[in-house]
Structure 1
């Protein structure tokens, strides 16, 4: 191994989140549209392999480069990505539940405790103030909104509906509060620098990941609130399509996986609503979203494999920018959450 190779950044857990969410999408699609079950099995195995690889790489980072890992956890932007570790584990618990209930239950509790501890730590630090406007990005959803919604869905799948309702409420109200902050930053401060623009893909996730959680906690034909959440998700999709030429000024890097969670969750929510009896227009919108999701995730996977083959997925350690632990005097790393080259 090349000792100069950089360590895997916490943001790479976004790849595991996207892969597991995509496998869960196919599981729903197989039920609703009777697609080949073998595809779902392959995607599940691939998602589990990616998740295990990310866990192993991140644990190795703490064992061999503890100072670097601690500095990352102190950074006001990069630390948010650590929350994707518990989120991806909760999504894995959903994947393996039909095959290994006991293991899924244990993984749920471990990930839940981890996400609560990490969320309280990171969000509590946010309340202490001092964050520069340029560090207010959609990444601040990750410690509270994503874990709340995904934990709610997983709890419901395991039969803990009241507990799931608590998590859903925490995610919902955190989302509403944080989104207003992000919109204010976007409206009155300088535009996001190019390396951070793909983070806007995270904006698609809250309404539809929350919508999946809401559907998991309710029964019957989807109600007005479910439709409202899906409608806001579709509107966010239109905004991101309008911004795509501006976002794509940043060449492809793994940070583009920020789109993957929302891209997978949007058709998942629509398909589950069709499954629950929602009629037109969802019965034709859902398949279109499903096809589009497969295309987007496929492009992300191919481009990521291309970086891996060319040795550019992780930048060498000597060209990675040093992590700045405070928000008072952010260094250039604040404009590059990936820990990778632009390759």
Structure 2
């Protein structure tokens, strides 16, 4: 029996914001490829999607506050709340060349939200609440390591010192959580099926850190930048080996975790090619861009089907 509309709203997962991250990621990747018209069209779609999700969850908060509270106290879903603030940062980055005044406002709102959510979520992690190894996944990167996204848009907008703050926090927790996640993956039970696609998130931190590092150094490529992008390629290759097993899994919203990390390494490849004149990295960038576009098309089809069938709004 199909759930009533109000019950569907109550079970709308906060992880839906990862869809906006993926769409904005495609927009920024196509911009890096020089496909400006496509970038604007995709970014406009991402903006509409993001605003729609904000409205959706404001209504959910008003009508179903206990459902929102339950997600906040859920040890896995808690990590997805900052996907909203990261989406705002991505929207600001997209808008900067088009509507700079709006980009400033949105970036400041996104950065403030990200900073607050990082502190609150990490405080929850170290509070009296007990977390076990089974609740840890690469999705935990989103609240803390997601901070490395802020400088990508913040530096061009002139918020350099604030961007250094976010970069420092994100880089520190990348090292901390990377260690914890690998301990979880190697020495404990496999990730649950719904969370296995989140392993792709491992690609995003070094790719984003590369883009930010180069921006901090005025487009100069040094040893630090080369190290970061090559770490991004290592994790991309590592994830590629896991991909056949992932593709055999039934669709879940967590598959959207594939989109933004893939967009990050695609954008990083184009940026590296631009700085060095490397044909290899340019070709790699276009190959990754094709894979990203195909991934988003497939994810969109599966997500629309899940929305129509009501499968996306089932309680966990």
TM-score, normalized by the shorter chain, greater than 0.5: yes
Partner residue, 1:95: 94
In structure 1, how many angstroms separate the alpha carbons of the residues matched to 2:19 and 2:73?
22
User: Are the equivalent residues in 2 in contact too, given 1:208–1:233 (CA < 8 A)?
Assistant: yes
- Higher mean displacement: 131-140 or 285-294: 285-294
Question: Where does residue 145 of structure 1 map in the other structure?
Answer: 145
Write out aligned runs for 1:108-257 (5 A).
108-128=107-127, 130-146=130-146, 148-257=147-256
Deviates more, 1:293-302 or 1:47-56: 293-302
- Normalized per residue, the structure richer in helix is 2
Deviations 1:104-142 (A, max 9, x none): 111111111111111101111212362111001111111
Question: Residues of 2 paired with 1:160 and 1:78: CA distance?
Answer: 30
- Partners of 1:248 and 1:294 lie apart in 2 by 16
Q: Distance in 1 between matches of 2:253 and 2:213?
A: 30
Structure-1-length-normalised TM-score: 0.86
1:87, 1:111 within 8 Å by CA — same for their partners in 2? yes
Is 1:49 paired with 2:42? no
In the alignment, what sits opposite 1:340? Answer: none
Contact 1:201 1:256 in 2 (8 A): no
Offset at 1:161? Answer: 2.0
| Structure showing greater relative contact order (alpha-carbon pairs closer than 8 Å, 6 or more residues apart) | 1
- 1:283 paired with 2:286, answer no
Report how far residue 53 of structure 1 moved: 1.2
What is the 5 A alignment of 1:74-89? 74-89=73-88
CA distance in 2, matches of 1:220, 1:132: 42
Deviation at 1:14, TM superposition (A): 0.5
CA 2–125 in structure 1, closer or farther in 2 if over 3 Å, else same? closer
Distance 1:215 1:312 in 2: 42
* Secondary structure of residue in 2 paired with 1:219: coil
Following superposition, the deviation at residue 206 of structure 1 comes to 1.1
> Structure 1 residue 283: deviation in Å?
3.1
| Shift of residue 311, structure 1, vs aligned partner | 4.0
State the 1:184 CA deviation.
0.6
- CA 144–214 in structure 1, closer or farther in 2 if over 3 Å, else same: same
Per the TM alignment, residue 69 of structure 1 is displaced from its structure 2 partner at its CA by 0.4
Match 1:26 to one of 24, 30, 39 = 30
User: What SS class does the counterpart of residue 7 from structure 2 fall into?
Assistant: coil
Q: Considering only aligned residues, what root-mean-square deviation do their CA atoms show, in Å? A: 1.7
Q: Which runs of 5+ in 2 are unaligned?
A: none
Deviations 1:128-186 (A, max 9, x none): 3621110011111111111x111111210202223222211111111011100000111
The one of 13, 18, 21 equivalent to 1:14 is 18
Q: Which moved more, 1:166-175 or 1:87-96?
A: 166-175
> Contact conserved, 1:164 with 1:217, CA < 8 A, in 2?
no
Deviation at 1:103, TM superposition (A): 1.7
In the alignment, is the contact (CA less than 8 A) between 1:122 and 1:143 conserved in 2? yes
Q: Deviations over 1:265-320 (max 9, x none)?
A: 111011112222342532332222222222222222222233334443333xxxx1
* Alpha carbons 1:204, 1:259 under 8 Å: kept: no
Structure-1 separation of matches of 2:245 and 2:289: 25
Q: Secondary structure at the match of 2:251?
A: coil
